[in-house]
Structure 1
Amino acid sequence: MSKRPPSNLERPSPNNPALDKAILAFRMQRLDEAERLASDVLKSNRGNVVAADVLGRALLMQNRPKEAVDPLQRAARRSHDPAIEVLLAAALAAAGRNDVALDQLRRTTARRPPFPPAFIELGSQFGKLGRFDEGIAVLESGLALTPGVLDLLMGLGHLHLKRNDRAEARASFSQVLATAPQRHDALVALAKAMALDGEYAAAADLYRRALALQPDDAAIRVNLGKCLLEMGERDAGEATLRAATRGSAQLAGPAIVALAAAPHGRFFLRPSAAAKFLRVEKN
C-alpha cells in the first residue's frame, strides 16, 4: 500500500562532498557505491542522519533489511528524526520483526507535531498483516490530526479495498481526485474499484486519464483492455492488449487471462499461439 518511507535525501548536505557523492550514487541506482560511500561518512560522523538514510535505503533496495536495521537504529537513537524512525520500522518489518516495527511506529505516531508518513507506514504494516480495522483506525486518527493529507486518504482507500469495502474505498479515492485531478495513483485505484463493481465504462475513462499521464504504463493498458472487452468492444480491447504486451512480454500472462475471461473470450491451446495473437515481443 505504501511507498518507501519519506527520505532525508532532499536535505542539502553541509559541505560534505563524500555525502553528496553517496546521494548521487543512490539516485543513479548505483547501490553498491552508495552503500560504500555512506558507510565511510558514518565512520567519521556516526550522527549523520542523511548518510544513515542513504545506507539504509541502499541496503533495503538490495533486499538486505537485517543489515539496514543496525545503522538505522543508531541514527534513530541519536537524532530522534521521525523519517529515520519510519525507515527503521520498514527495515524491521522487512526483516520479519513485525512486533518491534509496530512498536516503533506507535511511538512515532505519538509524536507532536504529528508526522503523517508514520501513520501511513503503520496503516500499511497493519494491512500487510491482515489487521485492516486497526490500520483504518490509525489512518483515520492521522487524518483527524492532519486533515487533507492526500497520502493518508490513499492509504485509507487501499485498506478499505483490501477489506472489500468498495464504497468507502471509492469515497477516499474520489476525495483525493477532487483535490488532485491529475494524481496517477488515485486514478488507477478508483478505476480498479469501479471495475470490481462492474462499472467498466467509468473505469475505462479513468484508465485512459492515467495513461495520458504515463503513456508507457503497460500494466494500466492491460487493465484498460480488460474493461473494453467486458464492455463488448472486442476489437479495441484486443488492440489495447496487444499494445500492452508489445512493450512488455511479462504482461502476456495477464493479457491472455483477460482474453479468456472476457465475454466470448479467446482460448489458446498453446502458449505460442497466444503469443502470436498478441504479437508479443521477446525482451
Structure 2
Amino acid sequence: MRSNSSDGRTRPAALSEALHNARHALETGRPADAERIAAEILQANAGDREAAKVLGYALMMLGRNAEAVAVLEKASRGNRDAEADTAFGIALRQAGRGDEAVTAFNRAIKRDAKYPMAFYELGKTFAERGRIDEAIAVFSRGIAVAPTMIDMMARLGKCHLAAGDRKNARRCFERVLGLAPGHYATAEALAMVLMDDRDYAQAAVLFRAMVTANPDNAQARLGLANCMLHLGKDDAAYENMRAAAERGPKFYGQALRLAVTAQRGRFWLRPSDAEKAIKNRR
C-alpha cells in the first residue's frame, strides 16, 4: 500500500507511518525522536519534502539552526510549497539572517497568498526588528486571509500599541477575547489599555477574571488592586496587594510601591506604615 506525498510522489505505507510518528514526536515535544525518524525517512527517500520539513523543525527545536537552514533550503528549492518557504524563513531568522528570512516569507506569500503562517512570520520578523508600520501592514493582510487567527490578531494589537494607537490596539484585543476568552496575555494587555484610558471598571472586570482563573496570579492581583484604588474600594485594593505580596519578594516590592505611590487610596506619612498595612491582614 502506498500514499501520496504533498509533492505528488507516492510514499510507501511504512514511510507514511514513520512520517506520522515523526510529526507526533514534534507535536509532543520530542524533537530528538522527530529528528531521528525524519532522518531515517530521508535516507530511504532523499526527496521526501514532508520529512525534510519535519527534520528542519526538529533541528530548530534542538537549537541547531544552521543545520535546519541547510535542510529547509533544499526542501523549499524549486517547489511551490509556501509552508517549506515559511519554515526556511523561520530557520534563517533564528540563525540571525533576518534579511534573507524576509525574502523567504515574501516568496511564500507570492506562492500562496492564502497561507496565513507566512504573513504571521513575516509580520513577527518586522516587529522584532522594530519595523512596526510594516508589521502592521503585513498582519492586517494576514488577518484578511485568516480572520480568526488569534495569535496574529494579538500581535497586531501589540504593534498598534507600540505605534501609540490605543484605539486600534483595544479593538484587536477585544476581538481576540471575543474569539478566545481565556487568552489571558491579551486580557492583561487590554486591561492595561483600559487603565490608560481610565476605564478602571472594565479593566477590573478583566483582572478579576484572571484572578478567578488563577488566584496565584500576582500581576493580575496588583492590576486589580490598582483599579480598586481608583474606584475608591480601598479594602479590596489592599486585600489584593497582600495576596500579591505573598507570592514573593518581587511582588511584595511592587505591592509596596503601589501603596506608597498611588495617587488614590490611603495617604501614608511613612512608607513603614504602608508596609505594615500590606504585611498584616485585618
TM-score, normalization: structure 1? 0.73
RMSD of aligned residue pairs (Cα, Å):
3.3
Distance 2:28 2:175 in 1: 35
State the Cα distance separating 1:145 from its structure 2 match. 4.8
Distance 1:189 1:72 in 2: 35
What is the aligned length?
Answer: 249
State the Cα distance separating 1:121 from its structure 2 match. 1.1
Code of the aligned partner of 2:220: L
Distance 1:125 1:59 in 2: 20
Residue pair 1:89, 1:102 contacting (<8 A) in 2 also: yes
Residue pair 1:259, 1:267 contacting (<8 A) in 2 also: no
Distance 1:26 1:112 in 2: 25
TM-score, normalization: structure 2? 0.73
State the Cα distance separating 1:143 from its structure 2 match. 3.4
Code of the aligned partner of 1:226: L
Percent identity over the alignment is 33
- 1:229 maps to which residue? 225
1:59-208 alignment runs, 5 A limit:
59-77=59-77, 79-145=79-145, 147=147, 149-208=149-208
State the Cα distance separating 1:257 from its structure 2 match. 4.3
Evaluate the alpha carbon distance shift between residue 175 and residue 41 of structure 1 in structure 2; reply closer, same or farther with a 3 A threshold.
same
Q: Which runs of 5+ in 2 are unaligned?
A: 1-5, 7-11, 230-235, 262-269
State the Cα distance separating 1:267 from its structure 2 match. 7.6
Residue pair 1:106, 1:122 contacting (<8 A) in 2 also: yes
Q: Which has the larger radius of gyration?
A: 2
Q: Which runs of 5+ in 1 are unaligned?
A: 1-7, 278-283
Distance 1:184 1:93 in 2: 28
- 1:264 maps to which residue? 260
Distance 2:111 2:127 in 1: 22
Evaluate the alpha carbon distance shift between residue 136 and residue 205 of structure 1 in structure 2; reply closer, same or farther with a 3 A threshold.
same
Bigger drift between 162-171 and 120-129 goes to 162-171
Residue pair 1:86, 1:118 contacting (<8 A) in 2 also: yes
- 1:5 maps to which residue? none
Code of the aligned partner of 1:104: A
Q: Which has the higher contact order (CA 8 A, sep 6+)?
A: 1
Distance 2:205 2:125 in 1: 32
Residue pair 2:82, 2:112 contacting (<8 A) in 1 also: no
- 1:3 maps to which residue? none
